[in-house]
Amino acid sequence: MAELLKSSQICVPGERLASAEHHRAGFGTYVKRGYIFASLAGMVRSEQNDKDIITVSVRSKHHQQLLPQIDSIVTCKVTGISGRFAKCLITAVNNARLSEPLRGIIRREDVRAKDIEKVEIPKCFRPGDVVLAKVLSLGDASSYLLTTAENGLGVVLARSEAGELMLPISWQEMQCPVSYVKESRKVARPQEHYLKQ
């Protein structure tokens, strides 16, 4: 096991904290050349999960960040899509706005609960869409794994090619109120209390 700065020890940005071979990078850290470094000045924290993986993070009094937990409902914006997943930036957790966005991924198999083999990411999400999702797992150091496989989860806001906010017309389609063009989406059942800005 590689050396680890003691929990509650103060660190500065750029300070080497632990080996990335034996630890996972958490909030306030980054990985470079096989080591975990602090990206914030603050207190070092190390937490061990039930799989004996130690996550190293840095907390600052001046930079508090709410972190998603498994089953948290998050609001995110789609930044890119591929045939296998949609990349997102998480902007709010359980209706609390984040001070800085976190990265998330919605995999093809996590879009719907049924007919998973028929899911096509470009027919479910588009870059710029605002999505309600649930945290499926904490993923890796760079992103959270998200799911929209519930009726209340999916796209809540989307713009048409004409630039208008589209209206949901079914669980898999939205329509532009100006051009009346319909576009495919994995539409969420409206949940107003999660959309406060």
* pLDDT tens-digit series, residues 165-183: 999 998 889 999 998 999 9
Query: Helix %, strand %, coil % for the chain, to 5?
Result: 5, 45, 45
The strand pairing partners of 104, in sequence order, are 88, 144
| pLDDT (0 to 100) of residue 140 | 65
Domains and CATH numbers, the chain: 10-59 (2.40.50.100), 73-194 (2.40.50.140)
| pLDDT (0 to 100) of residue 148 | 94
Closest by CA to 145, choosing from 76, 196, 82, is: 76
* pLDDT tens-digit series, residues 64-107: 556 788 888 999 999 999 989 999 999 998 878 887 888 999 99
**Structure token pair of residue 166:** 């589209």
* pLDDT tens-digit series, residues 35-63: 999 887 788 888 887 677 888 888 776 55
**Structure token pair of residue 133:** 């999702």
Answer whether residue 19 shows pLDDT above 80. Answer: yes
**pTM over the 0.85 mark:** no
**Structure token pair of residue 136:** 């499926």
Lowest mean pLDDT segment, chosen from 121-130, 136-145, 156-165: 136-145
Answer whether residue 2 shows pLDDT above 50. Answer: no
Instruction: Mention every residue, 6+ apart, whose C-beta is less than 8 A from residue 92.
Output: 74, 75, 98, 194
- Cβ neighbours around 87 below 10 Å, total: 18
Spatial distance between the Cα atoms of 36 and 196, rounded to a whole number of angstroms: 36
Please report, for residues 2, 11, 133, 163, the alpha-carbon distance to residue 53 in angstroms, rounded to integers and kept in the order given. Answer: 13, 21, 26, 46
List of E strands, the chain: 10-11, 16-19, 23-25, 29-32, 35-38, 42-48, 54-59, 73-81, 85-93, 96-107, 130-137, 144-147, 154-157, 167-170, 173-175, 182-184
Contact of 87 with 78, CB cutoff 8 Å: yes
